[in-house]
Amino acid sequence: MKIGFVGLGAMGLPMAKRLMAQGHSVLGYDVSERNRTAFEAAGGLWQTTAAGVTQGVDVLWLMVVSGDQAQDFLLTQGHADTLPGGATVILGCTQPASQAAATAQALQAKGLHMLDAPVSGGVVGAESGTLSIMVGGPSATLDSVRPLLMAVGGNVFHMGQACGMGSTMKMVNQLLCGVHIAVAAEALHLAENAGLDLQQVLDIIGVSAGNSWMVGNRGPRMIQSDPPVTSAIDIFVKDLSIVSDEARKLKTGLPLANGALQMFLATSGQGHGKADDSQVIRAYRSMNRKG
């Protein structure tokens, strides 16, 4: 297939590479040219303008930060209008279910198909092709692009016929991710104030009942002063805000999720919004220093 791919960041670039490795032609575009060299080296066709990525493609895959960015690209800037009739748009961003549904309706009116398909698994999953993909949308549309989804994710789950169901599942997943990161930071800060060796603490937790995927993945970065960024603090400010807003609509109390949101907000407010999300531990350190 000929695929347009928008968003070649930490997740998008390895996903695009896997598609190319399967023999697909991938046209790429990103507001930053930082990943241009790696993308072209893998055989990608870099587009210097956003319009170029929609020309004659079978599928347009957006791995942007938010539903707002997706709507801006597709509808406000009008790039959906330059897609061939019958093309499929795959939205991989985390967004409210209602926003995914609204975008799908607007694209359908233009003769286009859409899948609401957020992913989970981080950079490691993107590079290894083991992402979990939560799909909302018609079965026929999913079947037409399933080989592409399988190329980047070994776990493809069809959540329902309506666009928005994938985002609903991603919301549940992000609730757990955000709370796990925040509580891991809380535990390590307690250990730190108690004078324990933090590497030893992580070694012990790793073979004990208190372990989780997030402790194993984020914990080592929490004890680094300035770790590389794989997912920023402000990403979880956005994602947990979606969780909080949607829960309010459903009249569902989420005290733990809202508590975690406050810690990410506090960290961002301290000027660390672009830091790795493991650095939510900085909020604990600033408000609760030993002595």
Give the residue among 13, 9, 34 at the shortest CA–CA distance from 127: 13
170 is known as an active-site residue: yes
Q: Is 100 helix (H, G, I), strand (E, B) or coil?
A: helix
**Nearest-5° Cα angle at 280, 275 to 282:** 90
Task: Please identify which of the residues 17, 110, 170, 251 carries the catalytic annotation.
Answer: 170
**Nearest-5° Cα angle at 74, 70 to 76:** 100
CA 56 vs CA 105, 141, 143: distances in Å: 22, 18, 21
The rounded Cα 285 to chain-centroid distance in angstroms is 27
The CB density around residue 116, as the number of other CB atoms within 10 Å, is 32
CA 137 vs CA 70, 104, 108, 162, 247: distances in Å: 17, 9, 12, 5, 22
Give the residue among 60, 96, 252, 90 at the shortest CA–CA distance from 169: 96
Beta strands in the chain (DSSP E): 2-6, 25-29, 45-46, 59-62, 88-91, 113-116, 119-120, 132-136, 155-160
Please, what sign has the CA dihedral across residues 11, 265, 290, 209? negative
Q: Which residues are catalytic?
A: 170
